[in-house]
Amino acid sequence: MKKFMNNAEEMLNESLKGFGIANADLVKVYENPHFVVRLDAPVLGKVTLISGGGSGHEPLHIGYVGYGMLDAACPGEIFTSPTPDQILAAVRTATGGAGILFIVKNYAGDRMNFEMAAEMAMIEHAFMVPSDEVVTGDAAPKIPGRGMAGTVIIEKIVGAAAEAGFDLAACRKLGERANGAMRSMGVALTSCVPPAVGRPISTIGDDELELGVGIHGEPGRMRLKMMDADDLVRQMIDSIADDLSLKPGETILLYVNGLGGTPLIELYLIYNVAAKFCRDRRLKIVRSLVGNYTTSLEMAGCSITVCRLDDEFIRFWDHPVHTASLRWAR
Amino acid sequence: MKKFMNNAEEMLNESLKGFGIANADLVKVYENPHFVVRLDAPVLGKVTLISGGGSGHEPLHIGYVGYGMLDAACPGEIFTSPTPDQILAAVRTATGGAGILFIVKNYAGDRMNFEMAAEMAMIEHAFMVPSDEVVTGDAAPKIPGRGMAGTVIIEKIVGAAAEAGFDLAACRKLGERANGAMRSMGVALTSCVPPAVGRPISTIGDDELELGVGIHGEPGRMRLKMMDADDLVRQMIDSIADDLSLKPGETILLYVNGLGGTPLIELYLIYNVAAKFCRDRRLKIVRSLVGNYTTSLEMAGCSITVCRLDDEFIRFWDHPVHTASLRWAR
């Protein structure tokens, strides 16, 4: 295992310190317990958005704390749920008095710990659970699917709505509507090596790929022989489009997310192939996102997300955002 | 070799197509020959900034085409200089009539082809040659150093100045001043695999790292045993600070760049260590950049760049920028 670190136990702490110093104009990083809040927190009168989950998926979620997106993020140890005391501390620091929406990807441990913290906080709150993984097809996993890269889109859209004054119930409803409007599917070419484990958590052969992989390197649906990008992406777009029941003429956001170890030149190639198959289905791509937004340490691989768009989604997607890893003012 | 592609010959072309579709609100991608221009080119009356070089370093340079940065970029084949006809075509499409500044990293092939195209174009022009690599120390390479990740800072600062109305001579002078104010040093943990080659271009052992590596995987200065981040970064900051003759109290930009295969959690850890050693030297870090901005395909590794800042550099660094891979309006 070769990683830039001093020791595995302190890796997350040292990395979060660096994140805090590098982004001191946007966020404040707390220790003991760890959480990240936007610099101007609490934003009074605004619904407070809090997310979190295991680390190792950077920039998710810490990179999305700031104006127009999250108020706070709770990073657990690598691939480990944040603890209730982390979440509770974030709640107490970030709450703006208009209720808290917890955005918690669909993993049992994350949900349990966030629910425990929410109960302890005794504060008005609601849950929104991203579960954007494709769940139909030949080898369907559990329903609903796992939370994947689409979580970034949900956090962006709901973040803009909260900034625009939506109340807690409306933020939650919008997030659930966005979650229902998208599907994601992942593919891995290599495993990743969690520092505390010190060895690959799965083995993918030199001529193999793992289709339908989760963002922690969990086994996917199918171990297949390595194939051309055209053949691979066709399967992924077919699965996504079928699961979403996409119709010709519909308007979409097309999002290719790198899992960490795949260079941008390959991600843009995947995007090109995906765009071709979307156009073959007469889908109108009106927004795009390509890059490493939800990773799995240094895993080589990517995911494709398609989100059906309407005017409300487009308006909130385009809304200004000012975070470490998503930033624009269109 | 496992890569997301269809075939090595078409990889760059397919990737550039994807880049163009995903960023159709920012750029236009031309084929036969390949070049990328900002959507509103030519910008009349503004100095035209054109860069380029071998592909495989994405987002360099295509990701920096747009308002506040480059007018055009010429991507050569992977790790191969762009041809004069590419450069000439970019010149003809992007020229705004106020002269062209070519920003060409210090590699013999790039410089030769850009100079040939500039002569053929018979248009007012100047050259600015990023050479930010550390060049002193125990095992000094050729002087001046190679162009590395610091090129992004130069393109950002000069791009803002051109937008603000600086003339050709002033843009060139500013770029040279920025180049002289910074140094970069790289380290690789793994090799990369150029698709047309199909195998690693160097071999770094499981317990080794290569210090002083270039952005094409060229041999570095020293092959060392793997070491802690603290020990590694101390050497890098010492080399950079000595070569720049940094004095206590000086104001700097600290920039940790990923070479492609290293996850963000490690880059922020490197940043944290680098910031600690900068503070030990009583340097004031007032701007930061952390991420994959100048890569070497899927190589695991990073570079550290320190740029001495003054008010003019800060003003142009903070100036709004709207490109695929660097975007803000502070």
* B145 DSSP assignment: P
What distance in Å separates the CA atoms of residue B126 and residue B169, rounded to the nearest whole number?
Answer: 8
Taking an 8 Å cut-off on Cβ atoms, the answer to whether B265 and A290 are in contact is no
**Torsion, Cα of B148, B330, B74, A295 (10° steps):** 70
Inter-chain residue contact A263 with B298, CB threshold 8 Å? yes
In this structure, what are the phi and psi dihedrals at residue A55, rounded to the nearest 5 degrees? -80, 175
Q: Would you call A266 an interface residue with chain B, using a CB distance cutoff of 8 Å?
A: yes
H-run or E-run covering B14: helix B11-22
Residues A162 and A171 sit within 8 Å (Cβ to Cβ): yes
A271 and B55 within 8 Å at the Cβ level: the answer is no
Active site residue B34: no
pLDDT at B21: 98
In angstroms, the CA B141 to CA B81 distance is 21
Which of A6, A56, A266 faces B228 most closely, judged by CB atoms? A6
B174 interfacial to chain A (CB closer than 8 Å): no
| Residue of A15, A78, A265 with shortest CB distance to B272 | A15
Its ipTM equals 0.97
Is A57 annotated in the active site? yes
Backbone angle region of B64, left / alpha / beta, with phi > 0 → left and psi within -120 to 50 → alpha: alpha
Sign of CA dihedral B269, B271, B274, B279: negative
Q: Cα–Cα distance between B260 and B271 in angstroms, integer?
A: 16
Beta partners for residue B27, in sequence order: B38
Q: Which residue of A5, A224, A268 to mutate against B (max B Cβ within 10 Å)?
A: A268
Q: Report which of B188, B138, B176 is spatially closest to residue B302, judged by C-alpha positions.
A: B188
DSSP B109-137: HHHHHHHHHHHHHTS-EEEE----B---S
Structure tokens at A211: 């289709």
When CB atoms are compared, the residue of B269, B302, B327 closest to A5 is: B269
Q: Against a cut of 0.80, is the pTM above it? A: yes
The CATH code belonging to domain A12-181 is 3.40.50.10440
* Long-range Cβ contact pairs of A275-281 (< 8 A, separation 24 or more): A275/B18, A275/B21, A275/B22, A277/A233, A277/A234, A277/A237, A277/A238, A278/A237, A278/A241, A278/A252, A278/A254, A278/A306, A281/A237, A281/A241, A281/A246, A281/A248
Local confidence pLDDT in tens for the 330 residues of chain B:
899 999 999 999 999 999 999 999 999 999 999 999 999 999 999 999 999 999 999 999 999 999 999 999 999 999 999 999 999 999 999 999 999 999 999 999 999 999 999 999 999 999 999 999 998 665 555 568 999 999 999 999 999 999 999 999 999 999 999 999 999 999 999 999 999 999 998 889 999 999 999 888 777 788 999 999 999 999 999 999 999 999 999 999 999 999 999 999 999 999 999 999 999 999 999 999 999 999 999 999 999 999 999 999 999 999 999 999 999 986
Question: Which residue in B207, B263, B288 is closest to A297 by CB distance?
Answer: B263
Q: Which of A34, A61, A216, A319 is catalytic?
A: A216
To test the contact with chain B by mutation, choose from A57, A199, A223, A265 the residue with the greatest count of B C-beta atoms within 10 A, namely A265
pLDDT value at position B330?
Answer: 60
Mutate which: B187, B213, B268, B292, vs A, most A CBs within 10 A: B268
Q: Which fold has domain A182-308?
A: Hypothetical Protein Tm841; Chain: A;domain 3 (3.30.1180)
Chain A contact present for B209, CB below 8 A: yes
Q: In chain A, where are the structural domains located? A: 12-181, 182-308
Q: Could you tell me if B93 lies within 8 Å of chain A, comparing CB atoms?
A: no
Distance set, CA B120 to CA B36, B84, B88, B91, B114 (Å): 20, 9, 7, 10, 10
B196 touches chain A (CB under 8 A): no
Q: SS3 letters for chain A?
A: CCCCCCCHHHHHHHHHHHHHHHCCCCEEEECCCCEEEECCCCCCCCCEEEEEEEECCCCCCHHHECECCECEEEEEEECCCCCHHHHHHHHHHHCCCCCEEEECCCCHHHHHHHHHHHHHHCCCEEEECCCCECCCCCCCCCCCCCCCCCHHHHHHHHHHHHHCCCCHHHHHHHHHHHHHCEEEEEEECCCCCCCCCCCCCCCCCCCEEEECCCCCCCCCCEEEECCCHHHHHHHHHHHHHHHHCCCCCCEEEEEEEECECCCHHHHHHHHHHHHHHHHHCCCEEEEEEEECCCCECEECEEEEEEEECCHHHHHHHHCCEECCCCEECC
Phi and psi angles of residue B155, each rounded to the nearest 5 degrees, phi first: -65, -35
Chain A environment of B298 (Cβ under 8 Å): 261-263, 300
Which residues in B lie closer than 8 A to residue A11 (C-beta atoms)? 265, 269
Q: What is the pLDDT of residue A95?
A: 97
Helix (H) or strand (E) holding B11: helix B11-22
Q: In sequence order, which ranges of B71-203 are alpha helices (DSSP H)?
A: 84-94, 108-121, 151-163, 168-180
Q: Which of B189, B260, B268 sits opposite A15 (nearest CB)?
A: B268
Smallest CA-to-CA distance from A313 within A255, A243, A268 is with A255
The distance of B122 to chain A (nearest Cα, Å) reads 33
Distance from B119 to chain A by nearest Cα, in Å? 31
CB proximity list for A32: less than 8 A, separation 6 or greater? none
How far apart CA B325 and CA A43 sit, in angstroms, is 29
Give the minimum alpha-carbon distance from B249 to chain A in angstroms, rounded to a whole number.
Answer: 18
Spell out the per-residue pLDDT of chain A, length 330, in tens.
899 999 999 999 999 999 999 999 999 999 999 999 999 999 999 999 999 999 999 999 999 999 999 999 999 999 999 999 999 999 999 999 999 999 999 999 999 999 999 999 999 999 999 999 998 665 555 568 999 999 999 999 999 999 999 999 999 999 999 999 999 999 999 999 999 999 998 889 999 999 999 888 777 888 999 999 999 999 999 999 999 999 999 999 999 999 999 999 999 999 999 999 999 999 999 999 999 999 999 999 999 999 999 999 999 999 999 999 999 986
Q: Which of B276, B270, B306, B273 is nearest to B288 (CA)?
A: B306
